[in-house]
Chains A and B, each alone.
Chain A
Amino acid sequence: MRIGVFICWCGSNIKNMVDVEKVAEEVKSMPRVVYSQDVQYLCSEVGQADISKAIDEHNLDRVVIGACSPRMHETTFQKLLEGKGLNPYYVEIANIREQCSWVHSDKEKATEKALELVKKAVAKSYYSIPLSSDLLEVNKKALVVGGGIAGIQAALDIADAGYPVDLVEREPSIGGRMAQFDKTFPTLDCSACILTPKMVEAATHENINLYTYSEIEDVSGYVGNFKVKIKQKAKSVKADKCNGCGDCIEKCPKKVANEFDEGSSKRKAIYTLFPQAVPNKPVIDRDNCIYFEKGKCGVCQKICPTGAIDYEEQDEIIESEYGAIIAATGFDVKKPNDLAEYHYGNHPDVITSLDLERMLNASGPTEGKVVRPSTGNTPKKIVFIQCVGSRDRNKGNPYCSKVCCLYTAKHTLLLNEKFPGTESYVFNIDVRTAGKGYEEFYERARQKGANYLRGQVSKVEPLEDEDNRLLVRGYDSSLGEQVEIEADLVVLATSIEPKADSGDMAKLLGISSNEDGFFSEAHPKLKPVETQSQGIYLAGVCQGPKDIPETVSQASGASAKAITLFNKGQVESVPTTAVVNKDICSGCMQCKPVCPYEAISQEYVVEKVAGKQVKRPVASINRALCQGCGACAGLCRSGAMDLGGFTSRQLMAEVDIL
Chain B
Amino acid sequence: MRFPTKTASNNEREEFNDIVQKNVKDCYQCLKCSSGCPLTAHMDYYPHQVMLLAKMGLFDQIFESKTLWVCASCLACSSRCPRDLEPAKIMEGFRTMILRDRDQGNVEILDTRKVPRQALIASMRKFRR
Please list the 4 inter-chain residue pairs (A to B) with the smallest Cβ-Cβ separation, ordered nearest first.
A484-B2, A485-B3, A478-B29, A478-B52
CB contact under 8 A between A478 and B3, given known A446-B28, A449-B25: no
State how many angstroms separate the Cβ of B7 from the closest Cβ of chain A.
10
Asked if residues B1 and A479 are in contact (CB atoms below 8 Å), the reply is: yes
A447-B25 in contact given A479-B53, A480-B49 (Cβ < 8 Å)? yes
Across the interface, do A451 and B2 meet the contact criterion of CB distance under 8 Å?
Answer: no
The answer to whether B2 touches A485, judged by C-beta atoms less than 8 angstroms apart, is yes
Give A252-302 interface residues, CB cut-off 8 Å to B: none
- Cβ of A592 under 8 Å from chain B: no
**A454–B28 CB distance below 8 A:** no
* A479–B4 CA distance with the chains assembled, in angstroms: 16
Please report whether the interface of chain B is mostly helix, strand, loop or mixed according to DSSP.
mixed
B56/A484 in contact, CB under 8 A: no
Shortest CB-to-CB span from B27 to chain A, Å, is 9
List the B side residues contacting A478 at CB < 8 Å.
29, 31, 48-49, 52
How many chain A residues touch the partner (CB < 8 A)?
A: 19
CB distance from B15 to the nearest CB of A (A): 19
Q: Which of B1-42 contact A (CB under 8 A)?
A: 1-4, 23, 25-26, 28-29, 31
Q: Does A349 touch B at the CB level, under 8 Å?
A: no
Interface string of A470-505 (1 = CB under 8 A from B): 000000101111111110000000000000000000
Cα A447 to Cα B2 in complex, Å, equals 23
Chain B, range 22-78, C-beta contacts under 8 Å to A: 23, 25-26, 28-29, 31, 48-49, 52-53, 55-56
CB atoms of A381 and B3 under 8 A apart: yes
B contact residues, total (Cβ < 8 Å): 16
Let me know if B23 and A486 touch, CB within 8 A: no
Which residues in B have their C-beta under 8 angstroms from that of A449?
25
Q: How far is the CA of A483 from the CA of B3 in the complex (A)?
A: 8
Closest partner residue, chain B, to A439 (CB atom): B28
How far apart sit A480 and B4, CA to CA, in the bound complex (Å)? 18
Ordered by A's residue number, 13 sampled pairs between the chains whose C-beta atoms are within 8 Å are: A443-B26, A446-B25, A446-B26, A447-B23, A447-B26, A449-B25, A451-B56, A454-B29, A478-B29, A478-B52, A483-B1, A483-B2, A483-B3
Against B, the Cβ 8 Å flags (1 = close, 0 = not) of A426-467 are: 000000000000000001001101011010000000000000
Nearest-CB distance from A469 to chain B (Å)? 11
CA distance A483 to B2 in the complex (A): 6
Are B49 and A479 in contact (CB-based, < 8 A)? yes
Q: A446-B25, A447-B23 are in contact. Are A486 and B3 (CB under 8 A)?
A: yes
Residue among A449, A454, A476, A479 facing the most chain B CB atoms (10 A cut-off): A479
Instruction: Give min CB distance, B28 to chain A, whole Å.
Output: 7
By a CB distance below 8 angstroms, the chain A residues around B23 are 447
Chain A, range 323-339, C-beta contacts under 8 Å to B: none
Shortest CB-to-CB span from B5 to chain A, Å, is: 9
A contact residues vs B (CB 8 Å cutoff):
381, 425, 443, 446-447, 449, 451-452, 454, 476, 478-486
Q: How far is the CA of A443 from the CA of B1 in the complex (A)?
A: 25
Extra 12 A-B pairs, beta carbons < 8 Å, given A381-B3, A443-B26, A484-B2: A425-B3, A446-B25, A447-B23, A447-B25, A451-B56, A454-B29, A476-B52, A478-B52, A483-B1, A484-B3, A486-B3, A486-B4
Q: Which residue of A lies closest to B48 (CB)?
A: A478
CA distance A615 to B75 in the complex (A): 98
List the B side residues contacting A447 at CB < 8 Å.
Answer: 23, 25-26
Contacts of B3 in A (CB 8 A): 381, 425, 483-486
Q: Are A451 and B55 in contact (CB under 8 A)?
A: yes
Distance from A512 Cβ to chain B, minimum over Cβ atoms (Å): 40
- Docked Cα-Cα span, A381 to B3, in Å, equals 10
Q: How far is the CA of A484 from the CA of B4 in the complex (A)?
A: 9
Q: Are B1 and A484 closer than 8 Å at their CB atoms? A: yes
Neighbour of B1 across the interface among A381, A454, A482, CB < 8 A: A482
Residues from chain A with Cβ under 8 Å of B2 in the complex: 483-486
| Residue numbers in A under 8 Å from B53 (CB-CB) | 479
Name the A residues within 8 Å of B29 (CB-CB).
Answer: 452, 454, 478
By a CB distance below 8 angstroms, the chain A residues around B56 are 451
Interface contact A479-B52, CB-CB below 8 Å: yes
- Nearest CB in chain B: distance from A429 CB, A: 13
Bound-state Cα–Cα, A484 to B49, Å: 17
Question: Please, which residue of chain B has its CB at the minimum distance from the CB of A487?
Answer: B3
**In the assembly, what is the distance between CA of A486 and CA of B2, in Å?**
8
B85 to chain A, nearest CB (A): 13
Taking CB atoms, residues of chain A closer than 8 Å to B1 are: 479, 481-484
Residue of B nearest to A425 (CB): B3
Shortest Cβ gap from B25 to chain A (Å): 5
**Chain A residues near B25 (CB-CB < 8 A):** 446-447, 449
Q: In whole angstroms, what is the CA distance A381 to B7 when docked?
A: 14
Minimal beta-carbon separation of A262 from chain B (angstroms):
28
CB closest chain-A residue, reference B31: A478
Residues of A within 8 A of B49 (CB): 478-480
